[in-house]
Structure 1
Amino acid sequence: MSNAAHELWVHADERPVALAVRDAERSWTYEDVRCRSAGFGDRLRSAGIAPGDRVLLVLPTTPEFVFAYYGILAHGAVAVTVNPLCPQPELSYFVEDAGCSLVVAWHETSDAAQAAAAGAGIDCWRVGPEDFEGRSLVATPAPALRREDDEPAVLLYTSGTTGRPKGAILTHGNITASARSFCDTFALDAAERLGTALPLFHVFGQIAVLATAFQAGCSLSLLRPFSGLGLLQQTAAHRITILSGVPTMWIEMLHAVTDAKSRDLPDLKFVRSGGASLPAEVAREFEDCFGATILDGYGLSETTAAGTSCAPGRPLKHGSAGQALQGVRVTLFDESGRPVETGEVGEVAVSGPTVMRGYWNRPDATASTMRGDWLLTGDLGRMDADGYLWIVDRKKDLVIRGGYNVYPREIEEVLYEHPAVREAAVVGVPDERLGEEVAAVVALRADAELDVETLRPWLEERLAAYKVPRLYSVVDQLPKGPTGKILKRAIDRGELSDTARRVRR
């Protein structure tokens, strides 16, 4: 029995002046963070927010997010963390669905949050840096409120690709288990200096980075807004040892207008990648340029970010998401619910102490996602004899072309090897004869030119004929979500079918 904020309190007791959080211009020790978090918790208590009450937290990636978040957890309330760029209707949905008692919003982007709170008849606190200084501090913080391991700490809403978003209930036990697992896998200790530009409202930044940093007692550098050049500069200036982000961030760093090379990042040991599959070509190019290995991993909101990861000291297999984290079990099931053989494709399932308690007020959705102790992820993968997981694709992204299963990720991996291609997405579009046809959408590198007529023969040299796209479209930029993940669902299949170039042989 413990609180997910407990380790922050422990480090503040044992190493009060150790660096905890910093941004481009400011820094705070562990004691600084605890005093600000405890002060925010006291403010919640004074406002009548009780343990177990839900608080909608609408803050960007700033140290102030950290103070408010840990203040909510330490008080025993439940943090409902959402994108600060959400419009009012979305925020109103979260408030109503979670039954929030309070909204806390960033002063620069609070209008939509204030409107959502007003519509629900609850208060909205408009906060900025000044709200975590001076009178808001607590000189002698009380211990974080003790909570049972299965009590909710956070509600993380899924993207809602199939209906309205669902709130994944992450417990205090989930968060603690996940942070410990990441610390063990990456051998983290207080000497490390972590860095990220990930949004903290998302599970990757919030749990795999922030909670993990505080579990280990190391420092965390936050960058907002993200740019490839900015992340390079911060990594060098803060002497970051471990960087965390998504593949599009590594692409932006590679193409930043700078002369920075590995000699400028001597402290960078390795890079943790997640949120989307890492193209092997991007990993190789990044290591060649900056001298740091990218370690890919796999996890979901529903697994508190934990699943599998490549790890230092283990053989690196490009294209793999690594082995199961300590304390986590991963297997693959066929359509009948039976485990598949080594090397065969099946649906990825995860079990262990990091799996969510369920979806908030969605017992049917919870039941359909769970098979006994196993959480069904909706992702397709295969596992090799060494226990390395290879994500093949999302089940819903599978393209069935004329009876053949086509996995878009395999084609995307090859497209990233093309010298003109910066980013790629492969999707299926309706086809009267074949059921579905394969289409490739690409964004080009700076100053690159590409005649799409040449792409099909280039791919045919590298892929089986039935996998090669017949439709091609070149765009300035692919649609992305708040973490930088390419959003295939935002690609209009009907429009693509009408406008893409059909390349014939």
Structure 2
Amino acid sequence: MLNLSTVLEDSARNAPDKTAIVFGDMRLPYSMVDNVANQVANLLVSRGIGKGDKVALACPNLPYFSFIYFGILKAGATVVPLSVLLQGREIAYHLADSDAKALFCFEGTPELPLGARGKAGFEATEGCEHFFVLPATALATESEHGESIWAALGGMSSEFATVQTAPDDTAVILYTSGTTGQPKGAELSHQNMLLNTMVCDKMFPRSDGGDVYLGVLPLFHSFGQTVIQNTGFLRGATMVLLPRFDPGDALAVMSKEGVTFFAGVPTMYWAMLTKIHADGAEVPSTLNVAVAGGAASPLEVLNDFEKTFGIGILEGYGLSETSPVASFNQLGRPTKPGTIGTPIWGVEMKLIDADWNTVGGEGPGEIAIRGHNIMKGYYNRPEATAEVMNDGWFRTGDIATRDADGYYSIFDRAKDMIIRGGFNVYPREVEEVLMSHPDVSLVAVLGVPHESHGEEIKAYVIRSAGSAITEDELIAWSKENMAAYKYPRTVEFRDELPMTASGKILKRELR
């Protein structure tokens, strides 16, 4: 018997009155979160949903997310978390692709009409039988979109005997936003998710007075799910939820709630530092662990954060397919800024070429990973699984080097590499140089088609506040600071860059 819901159940048993979730003025103890999850499990069973069935959840960072997530797991079913930015047509695709029997969907807001989109997606999907609305108004028993969760839970017992699941049973199907083709569902077992959570818990020191986690990374993503929610609940921490990232709000909440642990993507750190320097926002004093993943952090941001907050950012690396954490700059070993550290406990990494041959020395090569964190495969996609799996190894599509101490440094996605006139150019390297210019606040570099060179290098730049630098000036500076085949030939200034829900820059939307 191994069920991921143990991370909640154990803490509810050991510290029932401890605050599990803070949302605005709401303070929810572990016992209550566990009780509502039990009611959700009873509801699912009463509707004929049980072991092995798939249940989709479309919800921002609200207490609902944890209630439903653990309720589904307790019932022995599989959670299919969906991005809250999906349109109706995309929701229908995910429901059909995952064979979801039910959808729990947040009602939404005028800015984010998720309830209407969810309803449209549900109605377009034949096999999906149940639609539960998570109302925007607390405890509302009616919704224009369908059956309110609170009405459905009426009369449901708050006691439930968690269904026995095997270590290899699927706990979660996480959809990866593939840059090519349709999204694929990575099947992660209870063992994948639980071991990743336990290793994360061991890796980060606990705070003496108890931990307070800021949950602003989307919980529907693997990073927020494992590193914030599941690890936080495993160690009996308090999770402070913010439904959307705003640098000012995040800093204010950190100070107000005494946040000790923050995990984010590099653009979040960049935005908070920009806010502090531009508006004199207060620097939270309680933070003692800051971790970053999702993309490589610019060295400028790492140095600025350490100077401003007095602690370094620990960088790690992982993917949906690896539950997600695969490597980290681990405490107790020297931190090397700009690297993704070394493989976590129980995980191996190596560099390979296009034909799976091992690349020795420093590389570069594509990262391959093997260990307890590797997905079972892509749901119902044996061919796609076979493309990325070989003898237990998973190939990531990320190009990296490895130093003499075994620390890996990602330079880029294999598919983002620019080939200009026969030379390989890694956008990340060009971005690092551009970020060192005082007039550059944020940048994304990519290849654009070119008649004679195949591809040409283009930079999309957000200027620093008050800067009036021109395209010609920045190109001239780049020419002096980079090899002739590397520097950008065109620069386009933008006020903002398109980003995913988790704050990664969406290069495909710039193409």
**Smaller-chain TM-score range?**
over 0.9
Q: Do 1:40 and 1:136's aligned partners in 2 also have CA atoms closer than 8 Å?
A: no
Q: How does 1:129-140 map to 2 (within 5 A)?
A: 129-130=138-139, 131=149, 136=154
> Which of the residues 448, 461, 465 maps onto 1:442?
461
Matches within 5 A, 1:188-203: 188=206, 191-203=210-222
Aligned length: 490
Q: Which amino acid aligns with 1:123?
A: H
Q: Could you give the per-residue CA deviations for residues 409-437 of structure 1, whole angstroms, max 9, x where no partner exists?
A: 01111111111112111111111111111
Please, what TM-score do these two structures have when normalized by structure 2? 0.92
Q: Deviations over 1:17-58 (max 9, x none)?
A: 112111222121111110111111111111111221111111
More deviation, 449-458/173-182:
449-458
Residue of structure 2 equivalent to 1:170: 188
Please list the CA deviations of residues 191-246 of structure 1 after superposition, one character each: whole Å capped at 9, or x if unmatched: 22111311111111111221111122212111122100000001111111110111
Aligned-pair distance for 1:311?
A: 2.5
* Structure 1 residue 111 corresponds to structure 2 residue 132: no
Aligned to 1:484: 503
Instruction: Decide which moves more: 385-394 or 208-217.
Output: 208-217
Match of 1:410 among 400, 405, 429: 429
Task: Give distance in 2, aligned partners of 1:416 and 1:196.
Answer: 28
Structure 2 residue 18 is matched with structure 1 residue 18? yes
Give 1:356's aligned residue: 375
Contact kept, 8 Å, 2:39 with 2:160, in 1: the verdict is no
Check if 1:324 corresponds to 2:324.
no
Alpha-carbon distance in structure 1 between the residues aligned to 2:154 and 2:303: 48
Cα separation, 1, equivalents of 2:410 and 2:211: 29
Aligned residue in 1 for 2:164 = 146
- Among residues 122, 125, 134, which one is paired with 1:120 in the alignment? 125
Alignment of 1:36-47 (within 5 A): 36-47=36-47
- Equivalent position of 1:468 in the other structure: 487
Partner of 1:495: none
Q: Which residues in structure 2 correspond to 1:207-222 (within 5 Å)?
A: 207-222=226-241
Counterpart for residue 63 of structure 2: 63
Equivalent position SS for 1:170: strand
* Rounded Cα–Cα distance in structure 1 between residues aligned with 2:214 and 2:160: 29
Note if contact 1:34-1:141 (Cα within 8 Å) is conserved in structure 2. no
By how many angstroms is 1:185 displaced? 1.5
- Checking the alignment, whether the CA contact within 8 Å between 1:297 and 1:308 is kept in structure 2 is yes
Give the whole-Å Cα distance in 2 for the aligned partners of 1:137 and 1:367: 47
Q: Which moved more, 1:405-414 or 1:192-201?
A: 192-201
> Aligned equivalents of 1:139 and 1:16: distance in 2?
18
Contact 2:475/2:490 (8 A) holds in 1: no
**Once the two structures are superposed, what CA deviation does each residue of 1:229-285 show, in whole Å capped at 9, x if it has no partner?**
0000011111111101111111111122542354xx221112111111111101111
User: 1:456: how far off?
Assistant: 2.4
Once the two structures are TM-superposed, the CA of residue 134 in structure 1 deviates from its matched residue by 11
* Root mean square deviation, CA, Å: 1.8
Question: Which residue is 2:83 aligned to?
Answer: 83
Alpha-carbon separation, structure 2, partners of 1:292 and 1:90: 41
Contact 1:35 1:137 in 2 (8 A): no
Equivalent-residue separation in structure 2 for 1:149 and 1:235 (angstroms):
36
Sort the Cα spacing of 1:133 and 1:117 in 2 relative to 1 into closer, same or farther, 3 A: closer
- 1:133 Cα shift? 10
Question: Structure 1 pair 428/5, CA: closer, same or farther in 2 (3 Å)?
Answer: same
2:479 alignment partner AA: E
SS in 2 for 1:267: coil
Q: Give 1:277's match in structure 2, choosing from 282, 296, 317.
A: 296
Partner of 1:102: 102
Look up the equivalent residue of 1:154 and give its one-letter code: V
Equivalent position to 2:175, from 157, 164, 171: 157
* Residue matched to 2:146: none
CA contact (8 A) 2:40 2:153 kept: no
Q: What are the superposed Cα offsets for residues 57-111 of structure 1, whole Å, 9 maximum, x if unpaired?
A: 1111111111111111111111111112211110111111111111111122211
TM-score by length of 1: 0.93
Unaligned runs of 5+ in 2: 109-113, 140-148
Q: Deviations over 1:467-490 (max 9, x none)?
A: 111121111111111101001111
What is the CA deviation profile of residues 148-170 of structure 1, one whole-angstrom value per residue up to 9, with x for unaligned ones?
A: 11111111111132111111001
Shift of 1:188: 4.0
Separation in structure 1 between the aligned mates of residue 206 and residue 353 of structure 2, nearest angstrom: 36
Aligned partners of 2:471 and 2:490 also within 8 Å? no
SS in 2 for 1:181: helix
| Identity between Structure 1 and Structure 2 (%) | 37
